[in-house]
């Protein structure tokens, strides 16, 4: 939910609130990117992902992959993937969701199987966050272990929805959607920044996720915020923040974000630091739902890394695929004539 929120910080370090529909236009991301490496082989991830031998063995005991819903004739993105279908039956949804959650955490599942599983997971949580009755039905069919995971995702997404004010955009944004830095490299950056500042790596990963989908969005916000952690250039150049680094470089930006959170009081109260990052309690709560998920369940990172960029438009939720590249805002209906794969089927 997961939402990518663009925000700005003025030269004095005070965040300027942007129009609420702009803050909520994107929602936690991801593109279907077949990568040649796997998180399961990452030494950095392995250092954080094992919580207990019993739990890991339970996950590894099921080597089967869930069958994702599909049908013939669906419009396809350049990657060959279609917009994930959303089953209407609560029993089917619950079974599918549990199968996905297990597979994402199973180190024996091939890395190239994770992107489609993660995108399906993301769409399910996004859709259920709007449907309270169906969401409650699905939740009631999950066992306790998955109910907590479910609650973190739904609560995060609904926190971002609560930030929304006014109508959704009738145009798609002037962004480029790119392949993010490697999962292992990002995790190394989060952990390095945490070690040097004391800000939890999970918080930094969650901020990176909701700001730009872990760096997938290459674009400048309406307030001129830039880079994977969305800094204003004036804030970046403040003493002790950017440190002459590159605002667009993930490593530099993640370390700068950690320093900024410290400056805003994040070591005393992380909620205060996040308020400095975006003046919204909803924003802070959403970030902490994802951070808490990663703290208790670090294998969840394997899925979150592969979430796609979704955009809340006036015609509904749109998937902006990897390779999306609009030089200027474009009428959403005109965009969909050329890119029908970006909207849900039906």
Per-residue pLDDT tens over the stretch 287-339: 999 999 999 999 999 999 999 999 999 999 999 999 999 999 999 999 999 99
Does residue 209 belong to any structural domain of this protein? Answer: yes
Name residues whose C-beta falls within 8 Å of residue 119's C-beta, 6 or more positions apart in sequence: 30, 32, 81, 84, 306, 307, 308
Q: For CA atoms 94, 101, 257, 268, give the dihedral sign.
A: positive
Does residue 85 belong to any structural domain of this protein? Answer: yes
Does residue 1 belong to any structural domain of this protein? Answer: no
| Secondary element (H or E) of residue 177 | strand 176-177
Length of the chain (residues): 346
| Alpha-carbon separation of residue 258 from 91, 144, 198 (angstroms) | 42, 34, 8
Q: What is the pLDDT of residue 5?
A: 35
Q: What is the pLDDT of residue 165?
A: 77
* Closest C-alpha among 57, 21, 39, 44 to residue 113: 39
Q: Is the pLDDT of residue 25 over 90?
A: no
Q: What is the pLDDT of residue 346?
A: 75
Q: What is the pLDDT of residue 219?
A: 86
Q: What is the pLDDT of residue 63?
A: 57
Q: Does the predicted TM-score (pTM) go above 0.85?
A: no
Does residue 297 belong to any structural domain of this protein? Answer: yes
Q: Is the pLDDT of residue 249 over 60?
A: yes
Q: For CA atoms 78, 26, 160, 127, give the dihedral sign.
A: negative
How many independent structural domains does the chain possess?
1
For residue 129, give its domain range.
8-342
Confidence of residue 244 (pLDDT cuts 50, 70, 90): very high
Q: What is the pLDDT of residue 6?
A: 34
């Amino acid at each position: 939910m997961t939402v990518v929120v663009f925000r700005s910080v003025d030269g004095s370090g005070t965040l300027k609130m942007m129009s609420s529909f702009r803050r909520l236009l994107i929602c936690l991301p991801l593109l279907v990117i077949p990568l040649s490496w796997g998180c399961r082989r990452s030494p950095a991830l392995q250092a954080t992902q094992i919580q207990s031998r019993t739990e890991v063995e339970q996950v590894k005991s099921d080597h089967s992959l869930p069958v994702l819903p599909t049908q013939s004739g669906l419009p396809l993105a350049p990657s060959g993937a279609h917009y994930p279908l959303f089953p209407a039956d609560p029993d089917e949804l619950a079974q599918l969701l549990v199968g996905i959650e297990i597979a994402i955490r199973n180190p024996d599942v091939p890395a190239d199987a994770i992107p489609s599983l993660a995108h399906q997971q993301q769409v399910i949580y996004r859709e259920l966050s709007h449907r309270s009755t169906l969401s409650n039905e699905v939740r009631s069919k999950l066992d306790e272990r998955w109910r907590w995971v479910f609650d973190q995702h739904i609560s995060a997404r609904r926190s971002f929805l609560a930030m929304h004010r006014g109508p959704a955009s009738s145009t798609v944004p002037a962004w480029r959607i790119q392949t993010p830095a490697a999962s292992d490299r990002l995790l190394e950056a989060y952990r390095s920044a945490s070690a040097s500042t004391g800000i939890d790596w999970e918080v930094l990963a969650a901020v990176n996720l909701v700001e730009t989908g872990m760096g997938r969005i290459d674009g400048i916000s309406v307030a001129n915020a830039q880079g994977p952690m969305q800094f204003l250039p004036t804030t970046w150049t403040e003493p002790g923040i950017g440190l002459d680094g590159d605002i667009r470089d993930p490593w530099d930006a993640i370390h700068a974000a950690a320093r900024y959170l410290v400056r805003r009081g994040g070591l005393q109260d992380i909620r205060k630091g996040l308020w400095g990052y975006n003046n919204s309690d909803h924003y802070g709560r959403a970030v902490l739902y994802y951070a808490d998920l990663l703290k208790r369940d670090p294998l969840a990172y394997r899925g979150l890394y592969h979430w796609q960029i979704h955009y809340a438009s006036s015609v509904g939720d749109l998937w902006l695929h990897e390779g999306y590249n609009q030089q200027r805002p474009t009428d959403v209906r005109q965009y969909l004539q050329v890119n029908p794969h970006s909207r849900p089927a039906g």
